[in-house]
Amino acid sequence: MAAQNPVSLTTLKKAIAASQNFLLSQQYSEGYWWGELESNVTIISEIILLHKIWGTDKNRPLSKAETYLRSQQRDHGGWELFYGDGGELSTTVEAYMALKILGVSEIDPALIKAKKFILERGGITKTRIFTKLHLALIGCYDWRGIPSIPPWIMLLPEGSPFTIYEMSSWARSSTVPLLIVFDKKPIFRFNPSLNLDELYVEGRQNTIFELPKNNDWTDIFLGLDNIFKFAELLNAVPLREQGLKAAEQWILERQEVTGDWAGIIPAMLNSLLALKCLNYSVSDPIIQRGLEAIDNFAIETEETYRMQACVSPVWDTAWVIRALIESGINPDHNTIVKSSEWLIRQQILDYGDWIVKNKQGKPGGWAFEFTNRFYPDLDDSAVVVMALNQAKIPDNSLKTASIIRGIDWMISMQCKAGGWAAFDIDNDQDWINAVPYGDLKAMIDPNTADVTARVIEMLGELDPNCSEFQFKIQSLKSAIERAISYLKQEQEIDGSWFGRWGVNYIYGTSGVLSALAVIHPVYKNWGHGSLKPMMKRGENWLVSCQNIDGGWGETCRSYNDPQLKGKGVSTASQTAWALIGLMAVGQATGNYEMQAITGGINYLISTQLSDGRWDESEFTGTGFPGHFYIKYHYYQHYFPLLALGRYQKLQKL
């Protein structure tokens, strides 16, 4: 990069104040912050289908959903998985399906363009399993081409090579209800004339409805699927009724009082489909609560109606607290106190699914959403603890007790490999991703570098003046050593780390550097070698992928093509991540890459809007690498503020 102009401290302070004022103005009266979680149009498309199936479509503003779907179609005729991806086949087929369900004619210009896009990419036959599932529900695809999952897997005892608890929490909460749906194979004829025959390249009558072959060892699952289907044909599925009953009971037990299941739309939608297959009435309180929970994920404007796949108030609130405090807002400011006390009330003190594989653990984590007591996660829990650690509230003993309980739960969730996963412990049987049903390759929840780094950063940031916290750190020597060893193994040859939950290597590298920097003094005092060489390699990689405009960016395509690591148009959130990582290394080593840091800070200041916000079209959050991406609408606000705040502290040194 060319030499950078120095950052004016006056300009820096002005940018920080504008950002702070914007975020402070966005706090809800209850104390939390909550930004939109944008994904892709399959979510609203599947919800449109669900309401048609239940006959609840007239009670929702679905004409506005049509307007939204039309607004999201791109000039090429398709709908996107993430911003600028050129359109994606399955996403486009589901949007097309939803528009036809809403009564749009196939000769409508939007559908004519979409049809051309779809047929050029192979048509319905080439879509993912979950798209075909939704088409099968309305008779637009044949159930023969959908995998069979025998209900008796619900009855496999603990200790078996496989149980439902070997699936990730999101796969488990979505799959258990589908055991019922796949068994019943319903076809809902709310519109007998509805079909999508025009989307079969080979013609619907010529389609062979079967699972695709991979021509490798995984084809053994196709043989098993044939056996399962043959047993279904003969009505000879072992323990079928017992398995279905167990699945139904599991679903009922895991519904929240608010109606949610697992805090995510796929689990909520699939559970409602399963209960429909079991002939539950739409007036049943269980169904009513479930539908209301889905309504709570919707965003309605004057013109559009769209659906979030999930909601993120705990995550957003914790990060905003950190950004505000580190940019100069007093830790005992009434805004901080109110939000911190709200976070403490969100701590989950119930046992969830995690107890199945973690018998010794005691509750104490936090979830991502307003309500999700069965599925607290490590990432949220670690960030909440860091936020509470920085905040000052009147009842300090309550805060300390909450933090200690959270730490104890997190430590009990450490995996054998030394790292931490998102929701479970040792959920790493990779063969499960090879089953035909798992074509999103997201059936498990193994430990990852970014979540592991978050836990380590949290431990390193604990208040050094609190004797309870420092005693806790010393007692966790073995856990920390194992985690550092894991992070060493996960570092790529070029110095970067993979980002499982954010796009991608910029996210992963920033997180690990932040963790190593704060834990380094403790680790060295235990007699270990320096972590500085690891950090330096990560720092060098971040500097190497800085864009000419001073920012950083990385495309979601880097998950599929390693040559795109660290490459993409600059974004506010990814620039902030890179800066946070670089400044962390500088703080640990005493040597700052000032030219790169100055370039990044100048980029953030120059792209800030007059009201303190930043614009960002790109998706920088990850649901399932390669298959599902998220645009957190607050990422472009609180991460830049955090970076600017840390830079301000650096200038004062």
Indicate which residues carry an active-site annotation: 379
Tokens 């739309």 correspond to: 265
Spatial CA neighbour of 368 closest among 185, 501, 547, 239: 501
Dist. CA 421–CA 443, nearest whole Å: 13
- Read off the DSSP letter of residue 4: P
Dist. CA 227–CA 277, nearest whole Å: 24
Dist. CA 523–CA 516, nearest whole Å: 9
Please give the single-letter amino acid code of residue 499: G
Facing residues of 377 across strands? 366
Dist. CA 65–CA 46, nearest whole Å: 11
Determine contact, residues 321/340, Cβ cutoff 8 Å.
yes
Please give the single-letter amino acid code of residue 371: T
Determine contact, residues 611/587, Cβ cutoff 8 Å.
no
- Tokens read off for 388: 């509470």
- CA distances to 102, 104, 268, 339, 632 from 23, rounded to whole Å, are 38, 41, 31, 12, 15
The string of DSSP codes covering 420-467 is B-SS-SSB--GGGGGSGGGTTS-S-B--BHHHHHHHHHHHHHS-TT-H
Spatial CA neighbour of 379 closest among 319, 454, 310: 454
The string of DSSP codes covering 8-23 is PHHHHHHHHHHHHHHH
First to last CA, the chain: 25
Facing residues of 632 across strands? 37
